[in-house]
Structure 1
Amino acid sequence: MELALQSSLFEHEERRHLANGAWIDYRSGWLDDADSLFEELRDDIPWRAERRQMYDRVLDVPRLVSFHDLVDEPPPHPRLKQIRRRLNDTYAGELGEPFTTAGLCLYRDGDDSVAWHGDNIGRSSTEDTMVAIIGLGATRVFALRPRGGGKSPEPEGRRHRTPEPEGRRHRTLRMAHRHGDLLVMGGSCQRTWEHSIPKTTRPTGPRISIQFRPHDVR
């Protein structure tokens, strides 16, 4: 059975600590020009399709992608550098370095998705880091779980008074990532937790996600 969305637990401009040194910030309506930016990125970004080896087959990646170094290359849209500057003003002091890259994904409909993973290619495989994600367009579920599907603690204020049945203890956090919202994953999140955008059978329009990362984090 699909778990209920838990967005209301994360819609305040405050940090939510998870476990094992991981945390997330969720800021609703963080981007005030989300409508125009969505249309311009959808129409102007050099989207490309990818194929990947999965065991004994090569399969289409179920989304379109575009990756950009915002320090050494001209940005594909000027707003990406402006947003990067705003994020660095907020988080670079704590992070100890700036965000330097923007990875974009275009989810064309509910069939497009991304499987469970952590952004732990590069330094993030051994070091704490941050990944900041802005959602544009259709609302999609953003899911988080402890790496390997381990037990996820109940969010503060929602603890059960009685023990849960064994089958419900390994819980996935599911948030509605809405148009213009900012989600930042920090601490050990990329090493000790996994995230995904699951497929949905509900009719849904296109969504763009913009992921800002520091140098050598993918």
Structure 2
Amino acid sequence: MSENNLPPVEYIPNFLETTLADKLYKHCQQLAWEQNNIRLMGKTIPVPRLECMYGDEGCNYVYSKSVLLEPLRWTSPLSEVRSRIESQTGYQFNIVLCNRYRTGLDSVGWHNDNEPSMGETPAIAEISLGQERKFQMRPHSGESITDFWLEHGSLLLMKPGCQENWVHQLPKTSRALKERINLTFRPHINGTSS
């Protein structure tokens, strides 16, 4: 695959050292998880994962025109990780959307994160905790798929331009997997962080 066909991302396998990743994973298990419902093709169905969101006040987030998430106040560990990501990447983030994949059957299908609340050409930083899972990306214009195996404590940075030209998914698998928690740090046009 040529360099032009690779997604505009940066993957850092050991962004968080194991002790810190373990501690953050344990903290995240205590977050205010909920199972939301999504409207697809005229039907309301449960989202196949648990979700919650933390962030700056007033940074409400709507996806798929049917799920509204209102930010809870930053916890200290989430705020500390945000600062570390911002310091290393140079991008600013106002919310963190948290996803909890309980088994291999919890998933998210092909999509891009193009909600207007994130502004134009956003960068999104994803921290993976727990079970390693396959994450896939493909361009809008083609069918070639790039696989990433997201490890415990890793960071995947989707750079500006990624959401406009690529889609991504975390596919289902019948393999017996343990839990994975994914933290996606995002900008928001109503954010107050400097």
TM range (shorter): 0.7 to 0.9
Return the alpha-carbon distance in structure 2 between the equivalents of residues 30 and 78 of structure 1. 18
Cα displacement (A) at 1:171: 1.3
Aligned residue in 1 for 2:25: 38
Q: TM-score, normalised by structure 2?
A: 0.82
Do structure 1's residue 116 and structure 2's residue 110 form an aligned pair? yes
The residue type paired with residue 40 of structure 1 is H
Deviations 1:24-79 (A, max 9, x none): 0000111121112112211x10001111111121111000000111467631x311
Alignment of 1:21-32 (within 5 A): 23-32=8-17
Cα distance in 2 between the residues matched to 1:129 and 1:193? 13
SS of residue in 2 equivalent to 1:184: strand
Contact map agreement 1:138 1:179 (CA 8 A) in 2: yes
Work out which of the residue numbers 186, 207, 211 in structure 1 matches 2:180.
207
Offset, 1:216? 3.6
Query: In structure 1, how many angstroms separate the alpha carbons of the residues matched to 2:129 and 2:155?
Result: 10
Counting aligned pairs with the same residue, the percent is 30
Write out aligned runs for 1:1-218 (5 A).
23-32=8-17, 33-42=20-29, 44-70=30-56, 74-75=73-74, 77-92=75-90, 95=91, 98-122=92-116, 127-147=120-140, 150-151=141-142, 170-216=143-189
Q: TM-score, normalised by structure 1?
A: 0.74
- Looking at CA atoms only, which structure, 1 or 2, has the larger radius of gyration? 1
> How many pairs does the alignment contain?
175
Gaps of 5+ in 2: 59-71
CA contact (8 A) 2:118 2:186 kept: no
**d(CA) in 1 for partners of 2:107, 2:4:** 24
RMSD across aligned C-alpha pairs, in angstroms? Answer: 2.3
Residue in 1 that maps onto 2:66: none
Aligned residue number for residue 62 of structure 2:
none
Q: Distance in 2 between matches of 1:195 and 1:205?
A: 22
